[in-house]
Structure 1
Amino acid sequence: MRIADSSVLKGTFEPGWRWSEHVRPIVGGDSCQSPHFLYVLSGRMHIVMNDGSEAEAAPNDVVHIDPGHDAWTVGDEPCVVVDFGASPTYATAQH
């Protein structure tokens, strides 16, 4: 979906999901280069930036994530988010 020239994605990240294991093989690179502006509906996600800083997002959190990060689902519940800032080509192969 697009709102005012921005992509809006709803994502469900199952337990055990990790960007570096499940998306990196598709897109390449050392870390996610897409910015994100998330609203967390349920579940938890842990984020580690390339500079080593870390954060965890939980239900009802609003989180801005700059490019250059890894992230993974925490616990046994899927993490469901609405992403108002993802690149329109998020998780697609780069040519």
Structure 2
Amino acid sequence: MSGMTTKSFDAADDQRTPDKTKIEMVDLGTAKAARLTAQPGWKWSECIQPVVGGDSCQAHHVGVIVSGTMHVRHDDGTEGEATPGTAYVIEPGHDAWVVGDEPVVAYEFDSTTASKFASSS
């Protein structure tokens, strides 16, 4: 099967805007991708948890940070940071927050997470 599908995040198929968050999702047919913009002061447990519930983020994240710094703390106490140019996999069971005064812009490529993150459904 040949072909190419392209879409602009600036004309996203779906957009969600929880507190200090903008998520723009594009549906590419066989895959979904999302652009996440998290403002300074953003923290999953304060901005997303009220929308989705639960004790920690249960999404599986696969993506890349374009700008800003994201700190992640897993339920088991392990921690790490993702900075611009960093590709990442973040397993379920974590909290995360923006470090510093620069917004985090990240692109997510796990189709399930891209389509459902920060959604109450």
Both structures adopt the same fold (TM-score exceeding 0.5): yes
Query: Aligned ranges for residues 70-85 of structure 1 at < 5 Å?
Result: 70-85=95-110
Query: Aligned ranges for residues 52-71 of structure 1 at < 5 Å?
Result: 52-71=77-96
Percent identity at matched positions?
Answer: 44
Q: 1:2 Cα deviation (Å)?
A: 3.1
Q: Which of 10, 28, 34 is the matching residue for 2:59?
A: 34
CA RMSD of aligned residues (A): 1.3
Q: Structure 2: how far apart are the matches of 1:45 and 1:26?
A: 20
Q: Structure 1: how far apart are the matches of 2:58 and 2:103?
A: 23
Aligned to 2:39: 14
Deviations 1:59-86 (A, max 9, x none): 0000100111100000000000001122
**Which structure 2 residue ranges, 5 or more long, are not aligned?**
1-25
* Larger RCO: 1 or 2 (CA < 8 Å, sep 6+): 1
Counterpart amino acid of residue 27 in structure 1: V
Tell me the SS of whatever aligns to 2:51: helix
Counterpart amino acid of residue 101 in structure 2: D
TM-score when normalising by structure 2: 0.73
Counterpart amino acid of residue 115 in structure 2: P
Contact 1:15/1:73 (CA < 8 Å) preserved in 2? yes
Runs (4 or more) in structure 1 with deviation over 4 Å come to none
- Count of residue correspondences: 94
Instruction: Provide closer, same or farther for how the CA distance between residues 63 and 6 of structure 1 changes in structure 2, counting only shifts above 3 A.
Output: same
Which structure's residues are more often helix, by fraction? 2
